[in-house]
Amino acid sequence: MPAWLKDAVFYEIYPQSFNDTNADGIGDIEGIIEKLDYVKGLGCNAIWLNPLFDSPFKDAGYDVRDYKKVAERYGTNEDLVRLFDEAHKKGIKILLDLVPGHTSEEHEWFKKSCEADRNEYSDRYIWTDGAFCGIAGHPYIGGEAERDGCYMLNFFKCQPALNYGVLNITEKWQLPTDHPSCIATREAIKDVMRFWLDKGCDGFRVDMADSLVKEDDEVKSATGAIWTNIRAMLDADYPEAALVSEWCNPKCALKYGFHADFYLDHHGNGYNVLVRDCETEGGDHSYFKKDGGDGPQRFLADYLPRYEGSKDYGYISFITCNHDTPRVTKALDISEIKLAYAFFFTMPGVPFLYYGDEIGMRYLADVRTKEGGFHRTGSRSPMQWDASAKNFGFSEASSEKLYIPQDSSADAPSLAEAESDPDSILHTVRSIIALRHEYEDLQADAPFEVVYAKEGERILVYKRGNLLLAVNPSGEAVKIPVSELDSISCSNLIYGIGKADFLEDELVIGAQSFGVWE
């Protein structure tokens, strides 16, 4: 386990939309370098960059055409290396986005794989042995290549599935996972990882990490074996490199070798019911919703087994949002969001802050889809640095040229405004992250324990190591007799939102309040 993860707080940057320095309307690497001090000032000591490799951008860069080449619109490989170096000087780690499940249909490997004559890449993707037979249960394309076969898709039409083999073989065109061609695919991805690790990157966020071996068993053991193999390479040659999975099953992902696994927004799961439970019947029952929110039980029922089953192997990553998920502002207001973030940043594991969430950027429901974004596009609009500057200071381009139009509402948030407002989300984010860095008990490893959570009540009291924490997202103050808190000795308030403290022999948590005691 790389030691730096223990106190890591990540900032996710969607490179298209962060900072444009050459007025083409699209963010670039130079723009990220310019803002490293800003990221550091938030308390984030690590960055995850969405893919910035050569691509036709039919899925915003998750359709990689060349894994070893930075897309021109972002800069050059040299620029990326300079970003690694500048970040390291400031104590910031950089994770790249690794897309191992598929490439772009324009990748050289795929073009060779389409040829009628057999070659080194014929088995790099999953092909059937006839252009007229489908691939049961999987999306596929036929009739597009000279080769007499259909190929499997891993996501959109532009993303053919790389071939790591099939676990339960039923067709003669399927290859076992230990076939030399499938091993070659794995080694090719390891080669890509080495290429960037040797240039100074600090690890990878891994896209659709569970999608490698097809017809895998329920616990994805064949896919897992590939990650265990890859992790062995890291342990041997890059022991400080981190591997974070898009899997959302920490019990599997962490045992197979990932250091951290995202808690994704899957409908009805523990993460979803905290802040995004707005699609359920009868209104929004998200835990952090002041009115109409549920108690913490639904969250705990989902989270605790995940946590207990994985804490000895690695970390669960809470996210404020990501590039695939509606921003929390879609459903929660500022006071609700502050409590949610205070909670996320005091939980075990390695938290991720999505760019713009620190200033309460809105989910823009009405923007036109861009690069395969569809409903996700609303969470990918350019950063709003300063309302008084052109395009909020994101770009000098004319506003029609921007990657995605920006928030046009009169009260669109901006960093400059958040800086000067003492009640902004920004100040809460900075102070809670600073607290996390100050107290080891708030970092990745210290145990999480529920102290008080009762059916029909909104309050949650929990411990991290020797610290006591309480959150009350409801509109009413709550009093709990100290006798119900099971021999808790903490009474010195070290952080508070709203009103929260011990008064005589009661813990009193005001409406929408949060406290941390030592």
Q: What's the CA gap between 465 and 442, in Å, rounded?
A: 8
- What does the alpha-carbon distance between residue 172 and residue 400 come to, in Å, rounded to a whole number? 52
- Judged by CB under 5 A, the number of residues near Ca ion is 5
For residue 155, the partner it binds in Ca ion, ligand GLC, none, with Cβ less than 5 to 8 A by kind, is ligand GLC
State which of residues 5, 9, 19, 20 lies at the interface with Ca ion (CB under 5 A).
20
Alpha helices in 350-424 (DSSP H): 415-420
Task: Show the tokens assigned to 362.
Answer: 């809105």
3-state secondary structure of 77: helix
Q: Between residue 59 and residue 78, which ones bind ligand GLC under the rule CB under 6 A?
A: 59, 62
CA distance 162 to 121: 10
User: Could you give the count of Cα atoms lying within 13 Å of 395 in the half-sphere of its Cβ?
Assistant: 25
The reply on whether position 155 binds ligand GLC by CB under 6 A is yes
Query: Are the beta carbons of 406 and 25 closer than 8 angstroms?
Result: no
Note whether 30 binds Ca ion by CB under 5 A. Answer: no
Strand 10-13 relative to strand 352-354: parallel, antiparallel, unpaired? Answer: parallel
> The tokens of 133 are what?
């037979």
Amino acid at 72: E
**Which lies closer to ligand GLC via its Cβ, residue 212 or residue 342?**
212
Residues in region 385-444 near ligand GLC by CB under 6 A: none
> What residues from 255 to 274 belong to the interface with ligand GLC (CB under 6 A)?
none
Query: Using CB under 5 A, which of the segments 20-28, 97-105, 403-411, 413-421 binds Ca ion?
Result: 20-28
Of 54, 105, 207, 441, the residue at the interface with ligand GLC (CB under 6 A) is 207
Contact status: 421 vs Ca ion (CB under 5 A): no
Phi, psi angle pair for 257, to nearest 5°: 135, -10
Q: Which is nearer to Ca ion, 20 or 63 (CB)?
A: 20
Q: Say how many residues touch ligand GLC, by CB under 6 A.
A: 9
Token pair of 304 as six digits: 């605790």
Determine if 99 is a binding residue for ligand GLC (CB under 6 A). Answer: yes
CA distance 461 to 450: 6
22 contacts Ca ion (rule: CB under 5 A): yes
Distance from the first to the final alpha carbon of the chain:
28
Determine which residue in the list 26, 208, 451, 459 makes contact with ligand GLC, applying CB under 6 A: 208
- Confirm or reject binding of residue 299 to ligand GLC (CB under 6 A): no
Binder of Ca ion out of 1, 6, 7, 24 (CB under 5 A)? 24
Is 66 one of the binding residues for Ca ion (CB under 5 A)?
no
Give residues in contact with Ca ion (CB under 5 A).
20, 22, 24, 26, 28
Give residues in contact with ligand GLC (CB under 6 A).
59, 62, 99, 155, 207-208, 246, 323-324
